[in-house]
Structure 1
Amino acid sequence: MTRFDAADPRERQKLFADAFTAHRERASAFVTFEVEHEGAIDGEDESAPWVQFADQTFNVDVTDEELDRLKSMLDEFPEFRIDQMESPESAEGTNVRITARSDANRLAAFVDRTFRAVYGRGEDYRAWVAAV
């Protein structure tokens, strides 16, 4: 891979697909995608959302509201399924693991939809491949 960020929807899709291809070709442990930080909410810093993929499984952290949106969004990806959810008492949210056996383009579409539908990013959000 030679580039690691994109903001245009078409370029993001290509970036994500290229990252999945590189992840598979390199047999890397995981690939991680991040989006830009949107700033403070109610005086507290919000961490930037991320999506990680390893061993045919997506890993995301979500709030209760985001979890509801994630479950609804999965209707668009019937071949993907939630395998595990953990909500430690010390954390504000849920870690969700989603099994996803598909090609790089379909995985890329899922990442983009997750950032837009679950995490509420707009059409022109900037994403990075943080690790491959």
Structure 2
Amino acid sequence: MTRFEADTPRERRKLFADAVVAHRNRGSAFLTLEADRDPDVDGEGPGPWIQFGEQTFNMDVTDEELARLKDLLSEFPEFRIDQLESPDEAEGTNVRITARSDANRLAGFADQVFQAVYERTEEYRAWVVAI
């Protein structure tokens, strides 16, 4: 894998799928994807991130984002929420989703999470920041 960022739907999904394959081939603990920070959506905070490892997506969401995530999961019936954790000191929920599928389906889901859940435009820029 030689590239680590993309900003079109086709390029992002290829990048994400390649990252999943590299993650599996290397036997790494997880991979991390990040999207551009959008001040209109994120305020002063960092941009959103998604981790994937051992057939599980991990992400932090607000209550509104969690509702959108649950809606999105209706399009991915083979994926399911396994754990929701909302510590008192945190402003949101950590979500773990079991996702047993091929690299392309996982990549499509990750891209949709950034767009539908985290409200990124179709042209958002994403990075693979850890494999």
Task: Report TM bin, short chain.
Answer: over 0.9
Is 1:33 the counterpart of 2:33 in the alignment? Answer: yes
| 1:1-132 equivalent positions in 2, closer than 5 A | 1-39=1-39, 45-132=44-131
Task: Say if 1:4 and 1:130, in contact at 8 Å, map to a contact too.
Answer: yes
Pair 70,89 (structure 1): closer, same or farther in 2 beyond 3 Å: same
TM-score normalised according to structure 1 size: 0.96
AA in 2 matched with 1:20:
V
Q: If the length of structure 2 is used for normalisation, what is the TM-score?
A: 0.97
Question: Aligned-pair distance for 1:38?
Answer: 1.4
Deviation at 1:108, TM superposition (A): 0.1
**SS of the residue aligned with 1:121?**
coil
Deviation per residue, 1:97-118 (Å, 9 max, x gap): 0000000000000000000000
- Given that 1:38 and 1:46 are in contact with CA atoms closer than 8 Å, whether structure 2 keeps it comes out as no
- Give, as a single letter, the amino acid of the residue that structure 1 aligns with 2:11: E
- Matched residue type, 2:15: L
Q: Which runs of 5+ in 2 are unaligned?
A: none
Contact 2:5–2:12 at 8 Å: present in 1 too? yes
| Residues 45-82 of structure 1, C-alpha deviations (whole Å, 9 max, x = no match) | 12210000011100010000000000010000000000
Structure 1 stretches lacking a partner, 5+ long:
none
Cα RMSD for the two superposed structures: 1.3
Query: Aligned letter for 1:83?
Result: D
Distance change (3 Å), C-alpha of 1:41 and 1:78: closer
- Find the residue that maps to 1:125 and give its secondary structure: coil
Conserved 8 A contact 2:41-2:119 = no
Q: Tell me which stretches of 4 or more aligned residues in structure 1 moved more than 3 Å.
A: none
Following the alignment from structure 1 to structure 2, what is the Cα–Cα distance between the partners of residues 101 and 40? 34
Aligned residues: 131
